[in-house]
Structures are given as structure tokens and as C-alpha cells.
A and B are shown apart, each in its own frame.
Chain A
Amino acid sequence: MPRPAAPPTAAEDKIERAEIDASTRLPVVLFYGSAIFWLLVGSFFALLASLKMNNPHFLDQWGWLTFGRVRPAHLNAVAYGWASSAAIGTGLWLMARLCRVPLRYSKLVIGAAIFWNLGVLLGTFGILAGDGRSIEWLEFPNYASGMLFVAYGLIAVWGVLMFRFRQPGHVYVSQWYLLAAFLWFPWLYSTANILLNFEPIQGGAQGAVNWWYGHNALGLWFTPIGLATAYYLIPKVLGRPIHSYYLSILGFWTLALFYSWNGMHHLIGGPFPAWMISASVVASIMMFIPVITTAINHHMTVRGNFGALKWSPTLRFTVFGAMCYTLASVQGSFMAIPSLNVITHFTHYTVGHAHLGLYAFFTMIMFGAMYYILPRVVGWEWPSARLIRWHFWLVAIGIGVMVVALTIGGILQGLALLDPGITFMASLDYTKPWLLIRSGSGILLTAGHIVFAVSFCLLLFKVGAKRTEPTLFGTDQGREPEPLNR
């Protein structure tokens, strides 16, 4: 084992970072670009699905636009098209930077990006054509999921190899989460697809495998990438250490142990042995441990410097996301308690919770990551602070309204369903005004995404005057950033 080199001087550090950023440029830009494309596509499908719930006759002449196909097209476009592409781009850049190794042979990763996008394209339009499998989170027909798995294999190998050949030194918490995500996801994806789509097992067992996968896609793929990003960006932008290494360890290992057992909470009351359901209920409540641990770690790191959120887009999106991680996870733990679950199960409350997690937590952190990383790999600052401001407020208000509307509507629906004296149609009637509000929030969100896409294009094509200063909130209004509390 070679003697660790002397710590690099500031100048060597910066050259190294420049070299790493340059090596990751094409893969990151490709993944981010395709992520933003799929965000627009997914938003379009989401809006369409929401409008169809307001007016069932809207565009119902054709099979390829029926609600039952548009809704899974939305889910898969945002899950595998937007969220996973953003995760991969962010994960590769973070791993390269933290391991302090450049991404070599990046052309293979570029090939993987193209293959990945082809898979999502074939899969999404396969669903619209009627080839969807109707297995939640695994609707892609086999020809598409096979492509995704092959593409992902390359990506995971690169991620793990960078860790293997990292520079000697302390391994930071983000690297644990990234390594774990890169290893867990292919195992999850291959097992679930084989047992449910390629060589389906008997129906009685399918539900368990389905939701073992569905929940773990959130908990062991998106969540670790999101947390790795937050653990990097928050202390990096502020220049402060993470509050406690010990809390990081506790948070990581309890997440690894408990999160993977949560799957059956999607099936509480369902046709499965009681112990499986109870095990998932217990695991869901035990999630309080990693969630509160991480919340303390992040909060104590930022404490005294919340003023920075006025200036830094990266920090604002990331801290928003990290707070919503805590909120969504605590909500999820409570939802798993059977006496509460009996109200929320099968209602729009669950949809609101899903968006609190995958959007308000994960997507917002990905936005934060993109605002930080893209200037470094493209070599151009964000052209317009005003566009960033519009982006933030449109999506923040949009997701806030959406979650609140679906939560209230869902609770009303659930309480009505519980009472056999209330007709089923009445439970549906309770939801209608809230679904209308949800469509309104969808318009806000889609508008925010269009603003972000415009911003991204302006950056990519290096539009406008060259800047040497970062694009911060308030610079378009002539304000100066305040100093930080160290």
C-alpha cells in the first residue's frame, strides 16, 4: 500500500478538480440533458393524466391515450427517464470528485447513456401502445427493461471502479451511499424483472416481490443518491464540516438494514402472511432512526447559516429537499401504522406522499445538484438569476399545493371508504375538487420545468455575456450576498 501522498496544495487541488470535471463532462451533460428531456415528457403525461381524472371524456377515443396507459407512462418517464438519469449523472460526478479520480474511457458511459435513453423511449411508448405489464414500477415490456439493465451494468461498473481506484485517504459518507446505490440497484432491478416479467413466479408471491422492488427503488436507489448529494453539497457550499461522523455511520447502516424491509407496507391488509406485513410495519417505524439521525446531522451543519438560502440556488434547492426528506419519511413511518393505514391505503393520500418523496425530496435535490455541477462541467455560469428564481418558486409552490391537496382529498376519501354507510360514489365525490386543484399545481410544476429547460439550454449553448461570478439569487436585483457564520 503506497504511502499516502502529502496533502495537495490548493493549486494542485484545483487542477485535479478541473481534470476530473473535464473527464465527466460528456457523460454528465448527456445524462442531465436526457433527464431534463424526460422531465418535460413526464410532466406532460402527468398533466394529461390529471386532467383525465377531472374530465374522463378528455381524449378518451384512443387506446394509446387511455388513462390506464398515460399514468404508467408518466411514472416510468419520471422514474427511469428523469430521476434515474439525474441520479446517474450526479452519482458519477460525485464519485469522481470524492474519489479524486477522473472518469476514464468515458465513451463507454456515453454509449450507456444512449442505450439507457433508448430503453426508456421504447418502454414508455411501448406502454402507450398497450405492451405495459401493469406491475407498478415495472411496467416496461421486456425489450425495454432488458436494455435498461444492460446500460445500467456499465454505469454501475464505472461507479464501483472509481471507488476501487480512489485516492488513499478518508472515505466520506457520500461515497458509502453512492457505492451502496450502485450495487443495490442492479440486484433489485434484475431480480424483480426476472421473477415478475421474464419468468413470472406464481401470482400469490408476485405482490411481495413487486413491492420489495417498488419500495427499494425509492429507498435503496433514489434515497442514497439524494442523501449522498445533500451530504456533499450542504457542507461544501457552506464550507463547514458535517456535524457528526458517528451520526453518519448510524444513519447509513440503519438505513441499509431497515429500509429494505419496508416493502410490504404497500400491502397492509392484503393477502400475505401476517408476519410479513408486521415485519414491514416494524421496519417502517424503525426508519425513524436513520431519518432523525440524518436530519440532525444536516440541521446542525447548516445551523446559524440559514441566511445562505437567500443567495445560493444550490443550497436553497438542496436544503428544501433535505427537509422534505425528513417530512416524507416521518409521514411514511406514520402511514405504516395499521390504524392510520386503514384510512390512507388506496387513496390519493398515498399519491401525495409519493410525490413528497420523489419530487419534494429527490427532484429538488437533483435540481440543486444540477445548479452546482453544470457550470463546472460546461464551463459557463447560469445566464439568468431571474429564470432560476422563477424555476424555484413555480416548483416549490406547485409541489406544496399538490401535496396538500392530495393529502386532504385522500383523508376525506379514506374516511368515507371506511364507513360502509357511505356509498362508494360519495367517496369519489369527496376527491373531485382536490383533484382539480392538483391539476392546477401540475400546471405550475410543468411551467417550472419548462423554465428550467430553457435555462439549461441557454447554459449549454453559452448564451449571453461571460460571467466570472456565480449566478446567485438577488444578483439580478442588485443585491450582495451576506457573509457566512463559520
Chain B
Amino acid sequence: MNRMPVIIVGIFLTFLSSWLGLVAYPYLTLGRFTPVTDEATGDINPPTLSGLAVRGQRVYASAGCIYCHSQQVRQVGYGSDLERGWGARPTVARDYMRENPVFLGTMRTGPDLTNIGARQSSAMWHHQHLYQPTVVSPGSIMPSYRYLYVTQKIQGQRSARAIDLLPPDNAPEGYEIVPSAEAEALVAYLLSLNRNYPLPEAPEPPQ
């Protein structure tokens, strides 16, 4: 008996079932969202990203932040994400409709970043943390991203964009640390990370 057609058909059909369930179905139901207008405030949710923040997504991907940080707030009663203040509500698929690529992540060597823009709204804090993470967060094993920053000679007056380093680090005498365009973009993206707005399918959890 020629087994080949039987095996090929079986191979095809079993695989097709998962393709339908885990590729086609998500595309149809989770891949064609439109934003929702909040009746009470008139906001469009999820909010659009500024051009700088979209560039920041590229920097986030290029630097590989997902290998230590996740971006998902899990369901009520599933893990302590909400209790840790990582979000006001669990995240749902529509929250990620403007993310490309999506940075859900699978490791929490560092904390979840879904709402980092809400937790840390200071750009200076983000620049300092990227430059000297083990000083800003003692005990952290996050590497320094100083390759995203430029050490330049102070020309006359100090640049308005220069960042202040926390001791014991400091810029060399007569020099200042200025973020590169990539660093500015990355921080703009991090500041945009705030999913505390309501969505029809994402109710506020009971207190």
C-alpha cells in the first residue's frame, strides 16, 4: 500500500487545525482592531504614539529589552501583577494594536514595563536609569546603555538636554552627557507606555 498520500494528508490536516486556531483566528479577531472612543472623556484608546515614540520602538527592539522585561499585566488572581502596582487592570489584546513588534516578553529579570510611563513619568529618571542602572536601582543586574549617549565637550553653556549623573558616576571635567537621538526616542517610547485607560472588554477589577 502506498503510504505517502495518507501520511501527507494527515500531516497537512493536523497542522492545519493549529494554523486555523492559533494563526487565522487570532488574525481575524485580534488583528483587526480599531481604537475605541471613551464616552466619558472623549479619548481615543489606545492612544496613538508620537513619531519619536515609534522610533523608540525600534530602539527597544534593537537593544533587546524584551529579554529581561515583560509588557503584560496578568489576570486578576493570577500572579501579583496588580498588587505590585504594575497596572490598574489586566491588559487585553487591543492594548497592543499599535505595537509593532509587540513586546510581550517572557522573562522578568527586570520588572514589567506595561505601565512604566505611568509609574515613572520623568524623562530625566529614565535617562539616568539607562545610563547607570545599578546606581539608580541598587542590586539591579541591568547593563548600562551608555552606548546610546554621547559625551561631549561643554561649548559655552551646558546643553539643555544634558543629563545629570548620580554619584559616584560623573562626567569628565568640562564634559557633559547628552542623549543621542536613539536615547531620546527610547525614552519617549517608555513614557508612552500607559495602559490604564478603560476598554469595553477590560473592566476595572473589583477592589
The answer to A–B direct touch (Cβ < 8 A) is yes
Using a CB–CB distance below 8 Å, which chain A residues touch chain B? Answer: 1, 52-54, 56-57, 60-63, 66-69, 71-72, 130-136, 163-164, 171, 176, 179-180, 183-184, 187, 191, 195-196, 200-210, 212, 216, 220, 253, 256-257, 260-261, 263-264, 266-267, 269-273, 276, 279-280, 338, 342, 345-347, 350-351, 417-420, 424-425, 427-429, 431-432
Residues on B with C-beta less than 8 A from A195 are 23, 27
Indicate which residue in B29, B67, B78, B140 contacts A72 across the interface (CB closer than 8 Å): B67
Tell whether, in the assembled complex, residue B62 and residue A271 are in contact, meaning their CB atoms are under 8 Å apart: no
Tell whether, in the assembled complex, residue A257 and residue B17 are in contact, meaning their CB atoms are under 8 Å apart: yes
Interface SS of chain A: helix
Residues on B with C-beta less than 8 A from A57 are 134, 143-144
A424 to B30, CA, bound (A): 32
A270-B30 contact, Cβ under 8 Å, with A66-B64, A72-B64: no
Starting from the known contacts A72-B67, A420-B84, 12 additional A-B residue pairs (CB-CB under 8 Å) come to A134-B62, A136-B106, A179-B11, A183-B11, A203-B101, A204-B102, A261-B21, A269-B75, A271-B104, A279-B21, A418-B80, A428-B109
Interchain residue pairs with CB less than 8 A apart (30): A56-B133, A63-B148, A66-B145, A68-B64, A71-B64, A133-B101, A136-B106, A183-B12, A202-B30, A202-B31, A202-B32, A203-B97, A204-B33, A204-B94, A204-B96, A204-B102, A205-B93, A208-B23, A220-B15, A256-B14, A260-B14, A261-B18, A269-B72, A271-B96, A276-B22, A276-B25, A345-B106, A420-B83, A425-B138, A431-B109
Indicate which residue in B4, B14, B93 contacts A271 across the interface (CB closer than 8 Å): B93
Tell whether, in the assembled complex, residue B22 and residue A208 are in contact, meaning their CB atoms are under 8 Å apart: yes
Q: Closest 3 interchain pairs by CB?
A: A68-B64, A205-B31, A260-B18
A280 to B22, CA, bound (A): 9
A103 to B79, CA, bound (A): 54
A338 to B95, CA, bound (A): 23
- CB closest residue in chain A, given B33: A204
Tell whether, in the assembled complex, residue B14 and residue A66 are in contact, meaning their CB atoms are under 8 Å apart: no
Residues on A with C-beta less than 8 A from B62 are 69, 130-132, 134
Interface SS of chain B: loop
**Closest approach, in angstroms, between the C-beta of A205 and any C-beta of chain B?**
3
A57 to B14, CA, bound (A): 48
- CB closest residue in chain B, given A413: B108
Residues on B with C-beta less than 8 A from A184 are 11, 15
Residues on A with C-beta less than 8 A from B21 are 261, 276, 279
Tell whether, in the assembled complex, residue B61 and residue A132 are in contact, meaning their CB atoms are under 8 Å apart: yes
A91 to B96, CA, bound (A): 40
Residues on A with C-beta less than 8 A from B8 are 179, 183
